[in-house]
Structure 1
Amino acid sequence: MARPIQTEPNHSYGEATLNYIHRAAEQGRYDIRGLGAKRALPTFDDLTFLTASASRYPLEGYRERCDTRTVLGDRHAARPLELAIPITIAGMSFGALSARAKDALGRAASEMGTSTTSGDGGMTPEEREASETLVYQCLPSRYGFNPDDVRRADAIEVVIGQGAKPGGGGMLLGQKMGERVARMRTLPEGIDQRSACRHPDWTGSDDLAIKIAELREITDWQVPVYVKVGATRVANDVKLAVAAGADVVVVDGMQGGTAATQQVFIEHAGIPTLAAVRQAADALAELDRSGEVQLIVSGGVRTGADVAKALALGADAVAIGQGALMALGCNRAGWWQGETFHDASDDYAALGTAPGYCHHCHTGRCPVGVTTQDPELEKRLDPGAAGRWVRNYLQTLNMELTTLARACGKSSVHHLEREDLAALTIEAAAMAGVPLAGTDWVPGR
């Protein structure tokens, strides 16, 4: 009699791990992809709000105001940013995104009274024109970095790290290095671009202070200077950024996205945003700089509830990256041309994927025209329509944010606080520093 086939699962060598090993053995190289971590991580979904009842009165949504005005960078800047909402667009480069996508993001941010951010490779005229408030990034690569554009910006963001690849540099593969992108970055067309992992003109925090002073001098102390770090040693990094003179600190958790990097970075470096925001807020409080130095949190912020929870944990604002791409049409089943919808299933299939599963931003073959430099594919994205989609998305997030704030009895979204939250899992309670629901227990305390 035949012995039964053994089918017990091997948790150390499951299908995904076996595929990885076999692919590595055959090809001798690591995987590169876009977007963010796919593994299950603690998220803002693991928190819940303790809204008003008998012990606290809610605000009436149709009659009582809930303020969303947000000021960023008033520590040193003569012209701090005054935003209508605490939701901003994160830095994504022209090169990673199409020029039309950057245009659409600028239009949406302007209509909502908030800011967008340039990304690596410089500032396009379309982006500057579309963006009422534009944050200009200074990255380790310095590709496309232009002092004249610094003076045209409304704020400067010194990027030290990114949540999807803390400790690693940027990538733009040759298939996306078109003529215009190459010209802006002063690089050869069609050749892979790999950015430095650290700024070329400093080796420590003292040099960061010098760089911030240089940026203040070139802008005559008019605009705020941000410092962005990938979430790793968050408390120390925030303290060093504050000591160096930053007006705003941006902390990007490991759920943050990217156009292209090694998958090993995306899945195995950094800490979740949920833990990062609490550590950053605690570091500012320890320095007695809460309110003086603003905190922006990014990395996996998708919904109005996520925004509200980030603010309750101590953030002053959030930055949205991947969510904005999805609103533009990323991972949609097709694209609109006027009133006609065109199915893109064949284009996704050619990439070996399907709508809802695509992470092939690095290839430049985006079926919906968001992350491409191909002139024909780029035409699939209409900046006017895509801008309206992103505007509607931001508007929805803001409405959800104020709905929750009012339900907690708050007349401003910036009055949300940690005591308004409870955790649904022990891991989330420990990371966020809030009690496990139904108890007063914060694990680790």
Structure 2
Amino acid sequence: MKDAPPHDVPRTEPRQSWTFSNSVNSEIRRAAATGLYDIRGGGSKRQLPHFDDLLFLGASISRYPLEGYREKCGTGVTLGTRYAKRPIELKIPVTIAGMSFGSLSAHAKEALGRGASAAGTSTTTGDGGMTEEERGHSDKLVYQVLPSRYGMNPDDLRRADAIEIVVGQGAKPGGGGMLLGQKITERVAGMRTLPVGIDQRSACRHPDWTGPDDLEIKILEIREITGWEKPIYVKIGGARPYYDTTLAVKAGADVVVLDGMQGGTAATQDVFIEHVGQPILACIRPAVQALQDMGMHREVQLIVSGGIRNGADVAKALALGADAVAIGTAALVALGDNDPVWEEEYRKLGTRAGAYDDWQEGRDPAGITTQDPVLMKHLDPLAGGRRLHNYLSVLTLEAQTIARACGHNHVHNLEPEDLCALTVEAAAMARVPLAGTSWIPGQSGY
């Protein structure tokens, strides 16, 4: 037997298992103690290939840049040009994604409408129907038709400026959402025809159709109800973007909305958010390829969402072939969600600013993801609308700056050739060359 090492020999620093990390072990202990799966809001928190893994190739000699203070760079986009009698004209290529009343407070919905209208863009209802706060303050409002059909009625379909049929969502493709009883007030219950204070779960699929042929019938029904005036969007989660985009277009969609797994949700199982779907970076080019293969690129518009944070993200999505982007989580942050000004209150909830995701509990001190009348007063809709307008303006200016630097007089003239990738994974997903090479992983001929 060997002698034991002397006490003065330094010990190796204990190592934490990467597989069984502190957060993983904490979840195992929580599951063992409760027997319940974890529910939360937000999007995926794992590190994923994203727009940060792409860089623009600004103009020098081979490209001629535009002068930012003298030469214009357009940002407008028209959505619904395929069949709709009244397509939507937006001043900027950034829209507000669907977030429901019930999940959000009435003040938050009003603030979203105010900010979007001031910026010249649209907002979207989300599940649970249309509120007067949002309709009254939204110049352009997209009305979502979800599997739950909560709050849906033909009159509101006609009052909307566009209709979005939600087939899937990036945070939970193939799954439904949740709204816990503490957020189902009399008003929310009345709009959704639900009992007050009782948990509800949204369905994962539409009750009256099972495939693309039925979707085509549903689109035609909605067109008849709305007199063929409104653009019809179809929203899909980022799972099988090539085939889902193809089928949505064949069913008659004017616009396809593609949502990646970084996109948020009001509440669903954590295991869904982290383990189902694909990053938006992996979804854009297959969807664009589907549109190109059908000769429909730019005729059917593509909106992408899931982790859009700044003007560079907007520009990169457009360069990869999107017509516009949608923001959800970023819009809530702009309103004041997870703001350190509420740090003390977040600590009382057992979390901290920047990490708060228990939106389903309705105790948001920022007054955004709550139905509590006292907490709701923490959000001033006018101030929130101004902040959102400012944020949307910055996104647009940043995207314009990048487009000019690449020699383009419209943000839609950005193209994949303006990009390179920092990682092999991003190069393969975005189908642009790895930086410093001409190599696009996975493509033949290299």
Match of 1:266 in 2: 273
1:90 aligns with 2:97: yes
Question: Which of 237, 255, 259 is the aligned partner of 1:248?
Answer: 255
Match of 2:74 in 1: 67
TM-score by length of 1: 0.97
Match of 1:205 in 2: 212
DSSP 3-state at the match of 1:318? strand
The structural deviation recorded for 1:6 is: 7.4
Alignment gaps of 5+ in structure 2: none
Show CA shifts across 1:95-129 (max 9, x none): 01000000000001111111000000000011101
Match of 1:43 in 2: 50
Counting only pairs closer than 5 Å after superposition, residues 26-425 of structure 1 correspond to structure 2 as 26-334=33-341, 344-425=342-423
The residue type equivalent to 1:60 in the other structure is E
Show CA shifts across 1:369-411 (max 9, x none): 0100000000000000000000000000000000000001001
The residue type equivalent to 2:285 in the other structure is R
Match of 2:442 in 1: 444
State the alpha-carbon separation in 2 of the partners of residues 393 and 131 from structure 1. Answer: 17
DSSP 3-state at the match of 2:299? coil
TM-score by length of 2: 0.96
Moved over 6 A (4+): none
DSSP 3-state at the match of 1:251? strand
The structural deviation recorded for 1:284 is: 0.5
For residues 6 and 86 of structure 1, do their structure 2 counterparts lie closer, same or farther at Cα, with a shift above 3 Å needed? closer
Q: Is the 8 A contact 1:59 1:411 kept in 2?
A: yes
1:12 aligns with 2:19: yes
State the alpha-carbon separation in 2 of the partners of residues 220 and 395 from structure 1. Answer: 34
Q: Is the 8 A contact 1:422 1:434 kept in 2?
A: yes
State the alpha-carbon separation in 2 of the partners of residues 439 and 5 from structure 1. Answer: 42
State the alpha-carbon separation in 2 of the partners of residues 441 and 346 from structure 1. Answer: 50
Match of 1:339 in 2: none
State the alpha-carbon separation in 1 of the partners of residues 235 and 170 from structure 2. Answer: 10
State the alpha-carbon separation in 2 of the partners of residues 175 and 434 from structure 1. Answer: 47
DSSP 3-state at the match of 1:48? strand
State the alpha-carbon separation in 2 of the partners of residues 382 and 8 from structure 1. Answer: 48
State the alpha-carbon separation in 1 of the partners of residues 430 and 312 from structure 2. Answer: 15
Alignment RMSD (CA, Å) = 1.1
The structural deviation recorded for 1:346 is: 3.0
DSSP 3-state at the match of 1:226? strand
DSSP 3-state at the match of 1:331? coil
State the alpha-carbon separation in 1 of the partners of residues 288 and 372 from structure 2. Answer: 42
The structural deviation recorded for 1:5 is: 7.7
The residue type equivalent to 2:413 in the other structure is H
**Max Rg structure:** 2
State the alpha-carbon separation in 2 of the partners of residues 207 and 388 from structure 1. Answer: 42
Show CA shifts across 1:69-108 (max 9, x none): 1000010000000100000000000001000000000001
State the alpha-carbon separation in 2 of the partners of residues 440 and 303 from structure 1. Answer: 28
The residue type equivalent to 1:264 in the other structure is V
DSSP 3-state at the match of 2:164? strand
Show CA shifts across 1:148-183 (max 9, x none): 000000000000010011100121111111111111
State the alpha-carbon separation in 1 of the partners of residues 192 and 344 from structure 2. Answer: 33
Percentage of identical aligned residues: 66
State the alpha-carbon separation in 1 of the partners of residues 28 and 196 from structure 2. Answer: 33
Q: Is the 8 A contact 1:351 1:360 kept in 2?
A: no
How many residue pairs match? The answer is 436
State the alpha-carbon separation in 2 of the partners of residues 35 and 11 from structure 1. Answer: 24
State the alpha-carbon separation in 2 of the partners of residues 98 and 180 from structure 1. Answer: 11
State the alpha-carbon separation in 1 of the partners of residues 290 and 427 from structure 2. Answer: 18
